[in-house]
Amino acid sequence: MKSDNLVEDIKARLDIVELISEHVELKRSGSNFKGLCPFHAEKTPSFMVSPAKQIFHCFGCSKGGDIFGFTMGYENMDFSETLSFLADKAGLNIDEYRGAKTDKGIKENVLAAQVEALNFFRQNLSKSKQAKKYLEDRGVSEETAAVFSLGYTISDRDALYKKLKAKGLSDAHIKASGLVNFGERGPYDFFRDRLMFPIFDLQGKPIAFGGRTFSSSKEIPKYINSPDSPVFRKGETCFSLDKAKSAIVQKKYSVIVEGYLDAIMCHQHGIANVVAPLGTALTAGQVKRLKRFAEKVVLVFDGDSAGISATKRALSVVFGEGLQAKVLILPEGEDPDSYLKKHGAEKFRKLMAGALSPVNFLLKYSGSNRLDAVRLAIQSIAACADSLQRDELVRELGERSGVSELTLRQELKTTVQKTFKNSGQNRNSGRNETHIRADQTNKEELLLLNIMLTMPEKAYDILHGIEGGFIENTVIRAIFDKAAKFIKNKSQSANLTNALLDVCSDDERVMITKHSISHECDIEHADTAIEDCISKIKLREIEKKIKEAELKANETGDLKELSLLLTEKNEFNNKRMLRGQG
């Protein structure tokens, strides 16, 4: 694939401000735009977008890049998926860049199979009186069925297989899709005689299905889901997140319910920030996906014993990913689906407004033994990845349980130590390495980098001045080395930032986007700043050599090298004094 040409054509057609504005509210801030970062929770905007350079950088969490970097991070896609997604958004035919003879990749063929299956199931629903009556009895409107692309698969052994073969898909790609199994008697459809719930990715593409049987036999599972495939990971996907993500961002919290129909009926009643795990217990992968859109969740599970147990497990998962949670336990015998049909959306919203704190829930639903309830609460709190949240939960537990806070903290410490003993885990190990290196970087190197990126016409003077390997910070040195390959003379400075982003590592990109947007020197004083920084860097190198020579002289008694270096330092300082840099 001529991906380089495609990347450039995409960048030429798509504006980063327009792209990011679809997900983040941006406001003009000088020559840039500012907003709340979509990659971490913040109250004061530190997320900057440069329309001139077509890059973004968050000064809070240090994420940065171009439209590809933003899309890969926000949509959780790899580069190949991002390339396809942005090409489609830009109105470019990716096949034209591949060449007519190139076959589609396995992911694209698997996605094509899902699309064909979706269309097939929807057509079947329109012909099935049984399936349509079931939806009518459950209160699902035709409009909602269309919005969620609900379908039906007939009971024939290989109806879908024949459909996919007729569309030119190979057996290998059909098998990879998970829609058809291949047994001793030949291929047979994975889903048969079931109401079908499509599962979409964040871009609204079908990637899998859930199917509910109409059979009353206990030997047949009521619900089954597609197996994992090249485009689907069950443990990382939530039902209806594609439809809920905007509402989650707007409301700043997500609502997690247990079943497909629970989520569907919430959306039908105008409660749009609702998702569901895929028929099994909530997973860390699903919570991580939700965390990208909001750091708060409301767990709405059934009021029976199974629902209570599921909520306790879910709380540990939510805490483990550092999210804040509240819990709504519906009256016994009710689920969101049934409650909404009986009482309507307003009463349901009022119930959610009165959702319990995790501590209240754990104390209320952990049996009659108060100490057992407290111990269970401590175990859940121990899973919390956010130390401030842990502190607040312990304080609340002490107030509500009557157990002294000191005792609770001692118990929590013991529980945490047991949990992490011999695991090698460190709660602080996730600190961004670039921050650490930046803390240790002298200001002259950072200022030169800033000037080079914000005033690329000065790049040649900087790179020519620091020749000789005097840059100590390894990330900045790598950036300067790569820039030197682009800048051979003073006229070669256009598009330096984007050229570097295409060839640099993740740590280097963070440095580049940060210092491309921040202005630490005005153009009027840039030449003086460059000269001063280069002088200080060179002086630092001389002083480093002097220290090495002193050690050598102490060992050998030979002062010749040390004497020459001291003379060099004095001459260098005299020149700086004459230039007014002293």
Instruction: Give pLDDT tens digits for 479-514.
Output: 998 888 888 766 656 578 888 888 888 888 888 888
SS3 of 110-164 = HHHHHHHHHHHHHHHHHHCHHHHHHHHHCCCCHHHHHHCCCEEECCCCCHHHHHH
| 436 has a pLDDT exceeding 70 | no
User: Is the torsion defined by CA of 310, 315, 316, 317 positive or negative?
Assistant: positive
DSSP code of residue 491: T
Among the ranges given (177-181, 201-205, 493-497), the one the predictor scored with the smallest mean pLDDT: 493-497
pLDDT tens across 97-116, in order? 765 444 457 888 999 999 99
Among the ranges given (312-316, 427-431, 455-459), the one the predictor scored with the smallest mean pLDDT: 427-431
Structural domains of the chain, with CATH: 3-98 (3.90.580.10), 106-232 (3.90.980.10), 241-420 (3.40.1360.10), 433-578 (1.10.860)
DSSP letters, 512-542, are HHHHHH---S-GGGHHHHHHHHHHHHHHHHH
Q: Which residue has the higher pLDDT, 543 or 338?
A: 338
Residues 202/242, Cβ–Cβ less than 8 Å: yes
According to DSSP, the β-strands at 206-213 and 223-225 are antiparallel
Q: What is the end-to-end Cα distance of the chain in Å, rounded?
A: 56
User: E-assigned strands of 203-307?
Assistant: 206-213, 223-225, 254-257, 274-275, 296-301
Q: Which residue has the higher pLDDT, 558 or 404?
A: 404
3-class state of residue 559 by DSSP:
coil
The single residue listed with the structure tokens 């319990």 is 356
Q: Which two tokens stand for residue 513?
A: 């986007």
Half-sphere exposure of 262 (CA within 13 A, CB side): 22
Residues 255/271, Cβ–Cβ less than 8 Å: yes
DSSP code of residue 104: P
pLDDT tens across 357-388, in order? 999 999 988 776 788 889 888 988 888 877 78
Q: Which two tokens stand for residue 12?
A: 């030429």
Among 489, 438, 429, 425, smallest CA distance to 463 is for 489
pLDDT tens across 31-48, in order? 789 999 998 888 899 999
Instruction: Give the chain's largest Cα–Cα span.
Output: 101
DSSP code of residue 333: T
3-class state of residue 198 by DSSP:
strand
**CA geometry: angle 164, 170, 174, nearest 5 deg:** 60
Euclidean distance between CA atoms 349 and 356, whole angstroms: 14
| 420 has a pLDDT exceeding 70 | no
Euclidean distance between CA atoms 109 and 346, whole angstroms: 44
| 234 has a pLDDT exceeding 80 | yes
Averaged pLDDT of the chain? 85
Euclidean distance between CA atoms 101 and 97, whole angstroms: 11
pLDDT on residue 490: 61
Residues 164/179, Cβ–Cβ less than 8 Å: yes
Percent of the chain residues topping a pLDDT of 90 = 36
Q: Which two tokens stand for residue 469?
A: 């390997």
Among the ranges given (7-21, 301-315, 456-470), the one the predictor scored with the smallest mean pLDDT: 456-470
Euclidean distance between CA atoms 515 and 526, whole angstroms: 15
pLDDT tens across 157-175, in order? 999 999 999 999 999 999 9
Burial of 137 (0-12, 13-18, 19+ CB in 10 A): exposed
Residues 177/114, Cβ–Cβ less than 8 Å: yes
Euclidean distance between CA atoms 139 and 160, whole angstroms: 28
In this structure, what are the phi and psi dihedrals at residue 427, rounded to the nearest 5 degrees? -65, -20
Element (H, E) at 454: helix 443-454
pLDDT on residue 409: 87
Residues 55/66, Cβ–Cβ less than 8 Å: yes
Torsion of CA 137, 138, 140, 146, to 10 degrees: -90
| 426 has a pLDDT exceeding 50 | no
pLDDT on residue 421: 55
Q: Which residue has the higher pLDDT, 197 or 405?
A: 197
pLDDT tens across 276-300, in order? 999 778 998 899 888 877 889 999 9
Residues 38/61, Cβ–Cβ less than 8 Å: no
